């Protein structure tokens, strides 16, 4: 069964540094998402992406965050200048064409900011 894959599984970065989290969505999916889960808290929506542009974003997704689909397969989340509070598990998800189709999630990237 097709899967969403995320790399790396764990990223350790110094505060203030830029970090890029990578995702390969399921190949025929059209909608792409990033969520995050701070330790002990609920999974929170960050951003959705469709047709090469952001379609919805949360208050968390400020100017420090950006997303990109640089080629036909990868979907990336960039944090420009990381803060301690960016430490979390980041999940990528993708979905097919129709709104009643479920989102499929990757295994996540654990981001630790020192």
Partner 1 sequence: AQSVTQLDSQVPVFEEAPVELRCNYSSSVSVYLFWYVQYPNQGLQLLLKYLSGSTLVKGINGFEAEFNKSQTSFHLRKPSVHISDTAEYFCAVSYQGAQKLVFGQGTRLTINP
| Interface residue list for partner 1 (CB under 8 A) | 4, 6, 31, 33, 35, 41-45, 48, 50, 55-56, 58, 91, 93, 99-100, 102-108
Residue closer to partner 1, measured from CB, 27 or 100: 100
Q: What are the tokens at 42?
A: 């609920």
Let me know: does 75 contact 99? Beta carbons within 8 Å.
no
In whole angstroms, the minimum distance from the beta carbon of 63 to partner 1 comes to: 20
The DSSP line for 40-85 is TS-EEEEEEEETTEEEEE-TT--TTEEEE--SSS-EEEEESS--GG
Residue closer to partner 1, measured from CB, 104 or 113: 104
Residue closer to partner 1, measured from CB, 14 or 42: 42
């Amino acid at each position: 069964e097709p899967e969403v894959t995320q790399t790396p599984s764990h990223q350790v970065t110094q505060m203030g540094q830029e970090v890029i989290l990578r995702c390969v969505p399921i190949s025929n999916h059209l909608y792409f998402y990033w969520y995050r889960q701070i330790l002990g808290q609920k999974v929170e929506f960050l951003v959705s992406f469709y047709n090469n542009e952001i379609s919805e974003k949360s208050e968390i997704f400020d100017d420090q965050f950006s997303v990109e689909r640089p080629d036909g397969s990868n979907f990336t989340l960039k944090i420009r200048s990381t803060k301690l509070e960016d430490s979390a598990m980041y999940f990528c998800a993708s979905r097919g064409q129709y709104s009643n189709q479920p989102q499929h999630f990757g295994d996540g990237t654990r981001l630790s900011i020192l």
